[in-house]
Amino acid sequence: MIEGTGPRYCPSIEDKVVKFADKNRHQVFIEPEGIHTNEMYIGGMSSSLPEDVQYAMYHTVPGLEHVKIVRNAYAIEYDCINPRQLYPSLEFKEISGLFSGGQFNGSSGYEEAAAQGLIAGINAAMKIKGKDPLILDRSESYIGVLIDDLVTKENHEPYRMMTSRAEYRLLLRQDNADLRLTRHGYEVGLIPQERYDYVVKKEQLIKQEVQRVENVHLGASGPVQKLMAQYNSQPLNTGTTLAELIRRPELNYDILAPVDPERPHLTPDVCEQININIKYDGYIKRQIKQVKQFKKLESKKLPPNFDYTQISGLRMEAQQKLNLYQPISIGQASRISGVSPADISVILVYLEQLHYQQKREQDK
């Protein structure tokens, strides 16, 4: 009998029947298992029901009246730790040198488990080498969001990573993953020099070309007006920059190539980044500004194993939660449920007083 809380986003057929009792049907997908097999997988009907019940159930699906089951559906129930026992490096707080990654940390999903395994493995190696751990923050990767949520927030069901959980998702795009993370991979020894040099060069090319495009001025000439008409874009009354034209919804960097004779030859991935950086410039700058504020709070480190009952002015709930989670920074503390902005202000004042006292003692 399965008693634990199952994953919200991939319920079994028996869960669906109970949770969505108002529905009289549920969609299923029959998917080939591979090119060189006649086995089919029935998506949407995962189950832990007895074998005879599974046969009776599958035979009710149109087209499966005489189906044979090669491997029965089954369910597993496993224990997991409370991830607040972990540092953001995925090392146990109470057991130095022991790292944990995967569904054992309370997550759900293959990618989530693989991401944690990667970080746990990297940081185990960093620990052996006597180097600082790799901690990706919420503004630079979904792995950072995933791990921060696991070790900071109260989770009462298997955790699934979704884009909606990331407050800086405009910057966490699949098209710029190499620009965000290659440097980290290189620093921990996972990225070869050739690959790293390519990404550094790519960054430079993008920056240079964006600057050039921002300063290229186009007049209301015949070729420009003809191109505007071709793409149903408002004709020019006066001159404008190439960047302003790229920001029009119906135009882009590639479309405007015929009226940009000074354009250098660039690879498609570089052109894509140039187009995105120019089109969404205002939104990206606004998010970067938010990230700077976020990093400012993340840079304010909190002492380890600190007793927060020493800070007068903190609410009791905040004291209890902070003592329980032992956050490593002001930023992480601010994301703990039950810790208010007022509590953060009290901690900041305390840290300033502590810093002042330590400085006075050093000056004596």
Q: Are residues 97 and 179 in the same domain?
A: yes
Q: Are residues 139 and 106 in the same domain?
A: yes
- For residue 150, with 0-12 CB atoms within 10 Å meaning exposed, 13-18 middle and 19 or more buried, which class applies? buried
| 161: nearest Cα among 356, 333, 8 | 8
Considering the chain, what percentage of its residues have pLDDT values greater than 70?
99
CATH code of 69's domain: 2.40.30.260
Average pLDDT over residues 243-267: 96
Q: Are residues 92 and 182 in the same domain?
A: yes
Q: Are residues 226 and 162 in the same domain?
A: no
Query: Among the three residues 170, 187, 204, which one is the final residue of a domain in this structure?
Result: 187
Query: Among the three residues 29, 61, 77, which one is the final residue of a domain in this structure?
Result: 77
Q: Are residues 325 and 351 in the same domain?
A: yes
Q: Are residues 99 and 72 in the same domain?
A: no
Specify the number of domains making up the chain: 4
Q: Are residues 169 and 216 in the same domain?
A: no
pTM comes to: 0.84
Rg (CA), the chain: 27
Residue 29 bridge partners (DSSP): 43
286 lies in a domain? Answer: no
Q: What is the tens place of the pLDDT at every residue in 99-144?
A: 999 999 999 989 999 999 999 999 999 999 999 999 999 999 999 9
Query: Among the three residues 153, 187, 221, which one is the final residue of a domain in this structure?
Result: 187
**Cα gap 364→362, rounded to integer Å:** 6
Q: What 3-state class would DSSP assign to 212?
A: helix
Q: Are residues 38 and 11 in the same domain?
A: yes
Using CA atoms, how far residue 60 sits from 24, 41, 64, 234, in Å, is 14, 16, 7, 58
Q: Are residues 311 and 216 in the same domain?
A: no
Say if CB 104 and CB 114 are below 8 A apart.
Answer: no
Range of the domain at 167: 83-187
Tokens of 255: 């479309």
Least confident of 6-10, 54-58, 314-318, 319-323: 6-10
CATH code of 135's domain: 3.50.50.60
CATH code of 212's domain: 1.10.10.1800
- Residue whose token pair is 């630079």: 140
pLDDT for 2 equals: 67
pLDDT interval class at 356 (50, 70, 90)? confident
Q: Angle between the 268-279 and 193-215 helix axes, to the nearest 10 degrees? A: 50
Q: Are residues 147 and 176 in the same domain?
A: yes
What's the mean pLDDT when you consider all of the chain? Answer: 93
Q: Is the pLDDT of residue 62 over 70?
A: yes
Say if CB 273 and CB 206 are below 8 A apart.
Answer: yes
Q: What is the tens place of the pLDDT at every residue in 331-346?
A: 999 999 889 989 999 9
233 lies in a domain? Answer: yes
Q: Are residues 164 and 223 in the same domain?
A: no
Say if CB 26 and CB 61 are below 8 A apart.
Answer: no
